[in-house]
Amino acid sequence: MSHEQTVIGPQPVARLVHPRAIRWLHWINFPLLAVMMWSGLRIYWAEDVYALGIGDWQWFAFFPEVVYEKLDLNRHLARGMAFHFAFGWLFVINGVIYATYLAVTREWRHILPDRNCMGEAKRVVMHDLRLADDCPPQGRYNAAQRISYTTVLVMAAIIVVTGFAIYKPSQLYPLPLLFGGYQGARFIHFSMTIGLMLFFVVHVLQVARAGWSNFKAMVTGYEIEIPAGSAASDQLAGAGGSPPLVESGTEAEGAER
């Protein structure tokens, strides 16, 4: 039994912002990266040689022994290698599918930065830090997101290539030479991974800052737009609740396909 509700003025609409393939590949990548980092730390434990410092003065070692103990990373080298190599192939396959999808559907146009992104990214950062009131117009992603997402894609590619270089240095020779040899490839692999971890932390904080609707859009694919001055907008402002949504399921499914 249908129930009709009269709404004065423009009604809320659901706008597709994240296609189904992007959402699936994004969420599949999350556990893959988590396992890769966890198993990679178990491998690194066997020879944790990197630290921040100058000369003989060491400020921070990667990583303190308490980290290995609390996360149960020590004395599990064989298990770490088994998980790392197995899930590494899944990570590569997921990345190849993602790159192919971007190329075939031309979704890369929404991600790769253009010549205006550097200037606009500064304004986005100033706005996010509440140092500026105006924010530059954006498409699916703002300028700062486009630069950071592209950087992460490049970092992920470097991680994969350096991973192969230290996984099979003899069989894939001269691949390690591109990074200054085995130790150079290992250092770059480790550095890119730390960078990816930092991006993940910032990414989660930005999602939390953007609010629940932003997170929900990455799950459902849709973003709810409420025209200013509509009855739904007034109702939402007055009651603090969710606006009534009128949407054609057929149209929504067609838009995603």
- pTM reported for the whole predicted model: 0.78
Whether residue 179 is found in the same domain as residue 76: yes
Which residue in the block uniquely carries the two structure tokens 């075939």?
104
* Per-residue pLDDT, 239: 45
Instruction: Reduce the secondary structure of 188-234 to three states and give it as a string.
Output: HHHHHHHHHHHHHHHHHHHHHHHCHHHHHHHHHCEEEECCCCCHHHH
Residues 117 and 146: beta-carbon distance below 8 Å: yes
Residues 6+ positions from 209 with CB-CB distance below 8 Å: 128
Owning domain of residue 165: 19-212
Packing angle of the helix pair 182-210, 143-167 (nearest 10 deg): 150
Whether residue 130 is found in the same domain as residue 207: yes
**What is the DSSP code (8-state) at residue 18?**
S
Cα separation, 80 vs 23, whole angstroms: 28
Cα separation, 196 vs 174, whole angstroms: 26
Q: List, in sequence order, every beta strand (DSSP E) within the chain.
A: 13-16, 51-54, 57-61, 222-225
Extract the tokens encoding 241: 């609740």
**Domain total in the chain:** 2
Cα separation, 232 vs 200, whole angstroms: 35
Cα separation, 152 vs 197, whole angstroms: 10
Domain boundary (195, 212, 229) is at: 212
Whether residue 176 is found in the same domain as residue 148: yes
Cα separation, 125 vs 131, whole angstroms: 9
Whether residue 80 is found in the same domain as residue 12: no
* DSSP-derived pairing of the beta strands 57-61 and 222-225: unpaired
The rounded average pLDDT for each run of 10 residues, N- to C-terminus, in the chain (257 residues) is 54 81 93 93 91 80 87 88 95 96 92 88 82 76 89 96 94 93 95 93 84 83 71 48 43 43
Whether residue 251 is found in the same domain as residue 152: no
* Per-residue pLDDT, 4: 54
Whether residue 142 is found in the same domain as residue 25: yes
Cα separation, 114 vs 31, whole angstroms: 31
**What is the DSSP code (8-state) at residue 13?**
E
Cα separation, 33 vs 35, whole angstroms: 5
* Per-residue pLDDT, 123: 86
Whether residue 237 is found in the same domain as residue 193: no
Whether residue 153 is found in the same domain as residue 237: no
Residues 223 and 23: beta-carbon distance below 8 Å: no
**What is the DSSP code (8-state) at residue 244?**
P
Residues 251 and 13: beta-carbon distance below 8 Å: no
Whether residue 175 is found in the same domain as residue 251: no
Whether residue 49 is found in the same domain as residue 122: yes
Whether residue 1 is found in the same domain as residue 113: no
Question: On the CB side of 115, how many CA atoms lie within 13 Å of its CA?
Answer: 0
CATH code, domain carrying 180: 1.20.950.20
Cα separation, 255 vs 9, whole angstroms: 24
